[in-house]
Structure 1
Amino acid sequence: MYWSNFLHIYQPPTQTAEIVAKVTREAYRPLTRVLEQSPRAKLTLNISACLTEQLARYGFADVIESLGRLAERGQIEFTGSAMYHPILPLIPCDEAARQIELNTRVNRRYFGDLYNPRGFFPPEMCYSFDVASLARSLGFAWILADEICYNGSLGQVVADRVYEIEGLTGFCIFFKERPISTGLTFGSYPHAEQFLPAAQIQVQPQGYLLTGTDGEIYGHHRPGQELLLQEIYSSGVLKTCTVSELLERYPERERVRPVEGSWSSWEDEIAQRVPYAQWRYPGNGLHALQWELTQLVTAIVDSAHPDGDGYAEARMMLDRGLHSCQYWWASCRPWWDTEMIERGARELAGAALQLRSQTDGTRTRQVERLLALIRKMAYHWQSSGRAMRLKKQYMDEHREVANELTFGNPPHETQTDQPDFA
Structure 2
Amino acid sequence: MPEIFHALGLHMHQPLGNLDLLLDTNRWEAEQILLAYERPLHFLKRFETSAKFHFGFSGTLLEQLADPLIQEKSKGIVDLGAMLAGYRELPNIELVGMGYFHPVFPIIPIEDWEEQLWLHKQIIERVFGKKPVGFFPPEMGFSMEMIPYLVDAGYSYVIVDSVHIRNENGQPVTPYKTYWAEWKGKRIAIVPRERDLSNAQQSGMDPVWFSAEAKNKTKSVMPPVLITTWTDGENGGWFRNLSDGANFWGYFFAPYVEKKYSGEGIDTVFLSQFILEYPPVEKVEVSTGAWNVGSTSGYDFSQWAGSAAQKQALKEIYKLSATYWQRAKAGGSTSDLEFRQKLQEVRRLVLQAETSCYLFWGDSWLPQLYELIERAYRVMP
TM class by smaller structure: 0.7 to 0.9
Alignment partner, residue 325 of structure 2:
302
TM-score by length of 1: 0.73
TM-score by length of 2: 0.80
Shift in CA distance, 252/144, structure 1 to aligned 2, threshold 3 Å: closer
1:24 Cα deviation (Å)? 4.5
1:342 corresponds, among 363, 367, 375, to 367
Matches within 5 A, 1:82-97: 82-97=99-114
Alignment partner, residue 417 of structure 1:
none
1:318 corresponds, among 327, 331, 350, to 350
1:156 Cα deviation (Å)? 3.6
1:45 corresponds, among 55, 66, 71, to 55
Q: CA–CA distance in 2 between the matches of 1:342 and 1:221?
A: 31
SS of equivalent residue, structure 2 residue 47: coil
Alignment partner, residue 382 of structure 1:
none
Alignment partner, residue 101 of structure 1:
118
Cα root mean square deviation, aligned: 2.5
Q: Deviations over 1:285-338 (max 9, x none)?
A: 1022201211222123223347416333222222211101111112xxxxxxx4
Alignment partner, residue 275 of structure 2:
247
Kept after mapping to 1: 8 A contact 2:162/2:194: yes
Alignment partner, residue 291 of structure 2:
263
Kept after mapping to 2: 8 A contact 1:297/1:349: no
Matches within 5 A, 1:140-159: 140-151=155-166, 156-159=172-175
Alignment partner, residue 162 of structure 1:
178
Q: CA–CA distance in 1 between the matches of 2:56 and 2:298?
A: 27
Kept after mapping to 2: 8 A contact 1:148/1:267: no
1:171 corresponds, among 168, 182, 188, to 188
SS of equivalent residue, structure 1 residue 348: helix
Shift in CA distance, 151/15, structure 1 to aligned 2, threshold 3 Å: same
Shift in CA distance, 343/160, structure 1 to aligned 2, threshold 3 Å: closer
Matches within 5 A, 1:6-17: 6-17=9-20
Shift in CA distance, 149/130, structure 1 to aligned 2, threshold 3 Å: same
Tell me if 1:210 matches 2:233. no
Size of the alignment, in residue pairs?
A: 334
1:232 Cα deviation (Å)? 0.9
Alignment partner, residue 279 of structure 1:
304
Q: Deviations over 1:47-102 (max 9, x none)?
A: 112211211112211221111111xx2x1111111101011112222311001100
Q: CA–CA distance in 2 between the matches of 1:252 and 1:25?
A: 37
1:34 corresponds, among 21, 43, 66, to 43
1:65 corresponds, among 85, 99, 104, to 85
1:194 Cα deviation (Å)? 2.6
Q: Deviations over 1:170-224 (max 9, x none)?
A: 421111011111011122x1x3223222222222373121111112256327962
Tell me if 1:235 matches 2:259. yes
Matches within 5 A, 1:70-81: 70=90, 73=91, 75-81=92-98
Q: CA–CA distance in 2 between the matches of 1:254 and 1:221?
A: 41
Alignment partner, residue 77 of structure 2:
none
Q: Deviations over 1:240-264 (max 9, x none)?
A: 0011122134345100111111112
1:268 Cα deviation (Å)? 7.9
Shift in CA distance, 220/344, structure 1 to aligned 2, threshold 3 Å: farther
Kept after mapping to 2: 8 A contact 1:301/1:352: no
1:6 Cα deviation (Å)? 1.7
Q: CA–CA distance in 1 between the matches of 2:109 and 2:368?
A: 22
Structure 1: gaps (5+ residues) = 331-337, 359-422
1:23 Cα deviation (Å)? 4.2
Q: CA–CA distance in 2 between the matches of 1:221 and 1:316?
A: 35
Q: CA–CA distance in 2 between the matches of 1:277 and 1:151?
A: 22
Kept after mapping to 2: 8 A contact 1:293/1:349: no
Shift in CA distance, 302/279, structure 1 to aligned 2, threshold 3 Å: same
Kept after mapping to 2: 8 A contact 1:159/1:203: no
Alignment partner, residue 395 of structure 1:
none
Q: CA–CA distance in 2 between the matches of 1:185 and 1:287?
A: 27
Q: CA–CA distance in 2 between the matches of 1:23 and 1:351?
A: 34
Give the percent of matched residue pairs that are identical in Structure 1 and Structure 2.
22
Q: Deviations over 1:361-387 (max 9, x none)?
A: xxxxxxxxxxxxxxxxxxxxxxxxxxx
Kept after mapping to 2: 8 A contact 1:118/1:140: yes
Aligned AA (1:66): G
SS of equivalent residue, structure 2 residue 106: helix
Structure 2: gaps (5+ residues) = 72-79
SS of equivalent residue, structure 2 residue 234: helix
